């Protein structure tokens, strides 16, 4: 029994697989065209109003091991960072397309994760028959403030949620988003914060039915997922401001890998972080800069979030990027 | 690239791996003793009050591929059935230990899955400063009724939730539960509804850090998880009423596999179902019976749930089981 990677990669170490035709190996979701139109209308509307639009990807991707899926490979990601980033971009005046894994954390609602809804409600039985249900605000801290912000964003139509679940859905919807945002040029930002699987099993090589455990131990052989960042930057959204991230558990290789990604894909920024310290420390790496963002203890106590700093840094860089293009 | 199972299994086809010493290959969770005491006190208290106690396992198990986990294997399971079963067992007068995957569906709250909390709340701004937040009951159907039932169960202390996330946690907590319920003998029921992984990578063979995709395609070799049903029935809870389930995508092998499991583990019942039809059709298989439970269209319209029928069937069988033991 062992766990290993095999095969020698003939390409550069940051570019493990080129993205060929997506639809050959990844089934096209039925609703992709419909979602593309909605995103396009959103971009046009907000672009016309002088707003920038950021597309944030968030959460993990599901990689099925069987075509009628019982088992799947997944990545650690609650979607907390993506949901949090969305809120801060909204505060900075952006319109946000939130391309997220189904049931991953959601902007504003994320603040009440892990709370059981029914534990927060009080049934008013004083007036027989009316049954007014109210919120116990000690259970949902700052709920009036959060609700106000949520309702303001919602009524202004500034947040467009789009869901994915599998890796295939993610890839096709991201491509559709890039096409949808092309009309606003450099005013579009792509912040790829989703934890996308590096490996998958092509549909053609998947067993139809659930793998029977009685047949003995399991050997899985997975292909590398094409790096969608390459066609995104080069072909689909060549004028947009594009941000990717690096999350490693081993700090010693982090910055080297971040810089390697920038060199390979020629996009604008990499947000680099280490699993254990990601809520208090990140490095924003660009072609000619490397900026450490640190949350002080005092800030952490005031519930400042690192995403606030990330967004301020990147929206500033986005302004410079737009100005250079003009 | 292919996906296959390898190796010849020297044992019977329903008994792919015997459960050796759990703690050798699965790390013991730090809180297992504490949880055991809580479960034991719960069983003793309700047993003394003449109540039966059912332990329901629910949701999926996470199988880490790296020790500082970024990637993991998982199973399809929302935990809907387990959460629903818990409600119907509570209606039948059982006390319930709900051993469930963290963030899987929860009794009562499950009825509002997919609803965004903030979309259901109304901010009362009439009285400046008070900020009363009320529930929009059109968004949470039957909320007053559900809330009443939830609060009654909670205040009577009839539902004990215990969370797990990884396969290791699940296995150790289930063993602890079996020991905790031993004092109430045949009044204990175990309903194993969780979708437990059949495969895992032993801690000793796991890489510490995140697997680098740049090293090429991925080969994973996984061991079979020991069938905990065997020691559960034979050693840990020999006097309890034990139920397992079979979920297959291929209907043609379902009943054969259900009966094979009963023959192998000598427990009391298997709830057999097919992935596509599981909400409307199950077969309860026991040593000397095979009962089809079907939801009619008319019942489905009235929002009757198949779990209501499963629970009525099994609590009746449990009564007979207890009477035979006396």
The answer to whether the Cβ–Cβ distance between A222 and B221 falls below 8 Å is: no
| Interfacial A residues in 279-318 facing B (CB < 8 Å) | none
Q: Based on the structure, what is the number of domains in chain A? A: 1
Q: Contact, B203 vs B27, CB < 8 A?
A: yes
This prediction's pTM: 0.88
Q: Contact, B186 vs B322, CB < 8 A?
A: yes
Q: Contact, A149 vs A108, CB < 8 A?
A: yes
Read off φ and ψ for residue B294, nearest 5 degrees.
-125, 140
Q: What is the DSSP pairing of strand B95-101 with strand B159-164?
A: parallel
- When pLDDT is cut at 50, 70 and 90, the band that residue A286 belongs to is very high
Q: What is the pLDDT of residues A202-253, one digit of tens each?
A: 877 776 666 666 667 788 888 889 889 999 999 999 999 999 999 888 889 9
Residue A20 to residue A27: CA distance in whole angstroms: 14
Task: With a cut of 50, say whether residue A5 has pLDDT above it.
Answer: no
The answer to whether the Cβ–Cβ distance between A137 and B133 falls below 8 Å is: yes
Task: With a cut of 80, say whether residue A315 has pLDDT above it.
Answer: yes
Residue from the list A117, A221, A248 with its beta carbon closest to the beta carbon of B117: A117
Residues of B in contact with A275 (CB under 8 A): 68, 70
What's the 3-state SS for A296-318?
A: CHHHHHCCCCHHHHHHHHHHHHH
**DSSP secondary structure code for residue A248 in this structure:** E
H-state helical runs in A70-161: 80-91, 143-155
Give the number of other CB atoms < 10 A from CB of residue A257.
Answer: 19
H-state helical runs in B266-296: none
| Interfacial A residues in 5-44 facing B (CB < 8 Å) | 5-9, 13-14, 16
DSSP E strands: which ranges in B136-208?
Answer: 159-164, 188-192, 199-200
CATH number at residue A296: 3.40.50.10300
Q: What is the pLDDT of residues A35-75, one digit of tens each?
A: 999 999 999 999 999 999 999 999 999 998 877 667 888 88
Token representation of residue B21: 């010493």
Residue A220 to residue A236: CA distance in whole angstroms: 33
Residue B1 resides in a domain: no
Using CA atoms of B259, B263, B269, B275 in order, give the dihedral in degrees to the nearest 10.
Answer: -40
Q: Contact, B72 vs B199, CB < 8 A?
A: no
The pLDDT of residue B10: 34
DSSP E strands: which ranges in chain B?
Answer: 3-5, 53-58, 63-64, 71-75, 95-101, 121-124, 132-135, 159-164, 188-192, 199-200, 218-224, 241-248, 269-274, 281-286, 289-294
Residue B271, Cβ density class (10 Å: 0-12 exposed, 13-18 middle, ≥19 buried)? buried
Specify the 3-state DSSP secondary structure of A167: helix
Residues of B in contact with A131 (CB under 8 A): 137, 144
Task: With a cut of 80, say whether residue A98 has pLDDT above it.
Answer: yes
pLDDT above 70 covers a percentage of chain A that reads 88
**DSSP secondary structure code for residue B240 in this structure:** S
Residue B299 resides in a domain: yes
Read off φ and ψ for residue B200, nearest 5 degrees.
-155, 170
**Which residue has tokens 């449990």?**
B318
Residue B270 resides in a domain: yes
Token representation of residue B281: 């059709």
Smallest CA-to-CA distance from A95 within A40, A33, A143, A164 is with A40
**Residue B303 backbone zone (phi > 0: left; psi -120 to 50: alpha; other: beta):** left
Q: Which residues contact A5 (CB under 8 A, 6 or more apart)?
A: B211, B212, B215, B216, B217, B218, B219
Residues of B in contact with A194 (CB under 8 A): none
The pLDDT of residue A22: 82
Residue B65 to residue B209: CA distance in whole angstroms: 10
Distances (CA, A) of B77 to A31, A116, B57, B70: 24, 20, 12, 20
Q: Does B252 touch chain A (CB under 8 A)?
A: no
Find the closest chain A residue to B5 by CA distance. A218
**What is the residue range of B30's domain?**
26-114+157-209+219-324
- When pLDDT is cut at 50, 70 and 90, the band that residue A8 belongs to is very low
Q: Does A106 touch chain B (CB under 8 A)?
A: yes
Specify the 3-state DSSP secondary structure of B244: strand
Across A92-101, A112-121, A298-307, B19-28, least confident range? B19-28
Residue A91 resides in a domain: yes
Residue A8 resides in a domain: no
The pLDDT of residue B24: 77
- When pLDDT is cut at 50, 70 and 90, the band that residue A24 belongs to is confident
| Interfacial B residues in 135-164 facing A (CB < 8 Å) | 135, 137, 140, 143-144, 146-148, 150-151
Among B110, B217, B247, B265, the residue to mutate for chain A (most A Cβ within 10 A) = B217
Residue B306 resides in a domain: yes
Across A4-18, A185-199, B63-77, B103-117, least confident range? A4-18
Q: Contact, B275 vs B220, CB < 8 A?
A: no
Token representation of residue A60: 């993990």
Residue A249 resides in a domain: yes
Task: With a cut of 60, say whether residue A20 has pLDDT above it.
Answer: no
The pLDDT of residue A181: 97
Smallest CA-to-CA distance from A137 within A115, A121, A124 is with A121
ipTM computed for the complex: 0.85
Residue B11 resides in a domain: no
Average pLDDT per block of 10 residues along chain B, 326 residues long: 33 48 84 97 97 97 80 88 98 98 95 93 72 91 95 97 96 96 96 93 73 71 90 95 92 93 97 92 95 96 96 98 88
**A69 compared with A323, residue with greater pLDDT:** A323
The pLDDT of residue A70: 72
Using CA atoms of B148, B151, B155, B160 in order, give the dihedral in degrees to the nearest 10.
Answer: 130
Q: What is the DSSP pairing of strand B3-5 with strand A218-224?
A: antiparallel
């Amino acid at each position: 029994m062992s766990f290993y990677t095999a095969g020698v990669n003939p390409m550069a170490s940051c570019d493990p697989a080129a993205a060929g035709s997506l639809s050959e190996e990844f089934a096209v979701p039925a609703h992709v065209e419909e979602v593309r139109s909605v995103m396009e209308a959103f971009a046009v509307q907000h672009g016309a109003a002088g707003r920038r639009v950021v597309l944030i990807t968030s959460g993990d991707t599901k990689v099925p091991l069987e075509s009628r899926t019982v088992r799947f490979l997944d990545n650690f990601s609650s979607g907390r960072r993506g949901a949090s980033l969305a809120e801060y971009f909204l505060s900075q005046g952006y319109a946000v397309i939130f391309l997220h894994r189904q049931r991953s954390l959601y902007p504003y609602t994320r603040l009440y994760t892990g709370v059981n809804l029914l534990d927060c409600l009080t049934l008013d039985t004083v007036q027989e028959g009316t049954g007014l249900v109210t919120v116990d605000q000690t259970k949902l801290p700052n709920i009036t403030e959060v609700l106000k912000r949520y309702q303001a964003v919602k009524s202004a139509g500034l947040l467009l949620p789009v869901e994915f679940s599998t890796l295939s859905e993610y890839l096709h919807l991201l491509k559709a988003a890039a096409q949808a945002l092309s009309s606003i040029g450099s005013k579009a930002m792509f912040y790829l914060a989703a934890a996308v699987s590096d490996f998958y099993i092509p549909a053609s090589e998947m067993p139809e039915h659930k793998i029977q455990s009685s047949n003995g131990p399991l050997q899985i052989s997975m292909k590398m997922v094409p790096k969608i960042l390459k066609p995104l930057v080069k072909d689909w959204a060549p004028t947009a401001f594009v941000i990717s991230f690096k999350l490693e558990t081993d700090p010693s290789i982090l910055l080297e890998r971040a810089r390697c990604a920038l060199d390979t894909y020629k996009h604008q920024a990499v947000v680099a972080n280490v699993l254990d310290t990601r809520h208090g420390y990140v490095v924003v790496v660009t072609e000619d800069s490397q900026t450490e963002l640190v949350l002080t203890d005092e800030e952490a106590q005031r519930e400042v979030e690192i995403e606030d700093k990330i967004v301020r840094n990147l929206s500033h860089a986005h302004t410079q990027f737009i100005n250079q293009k003009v």
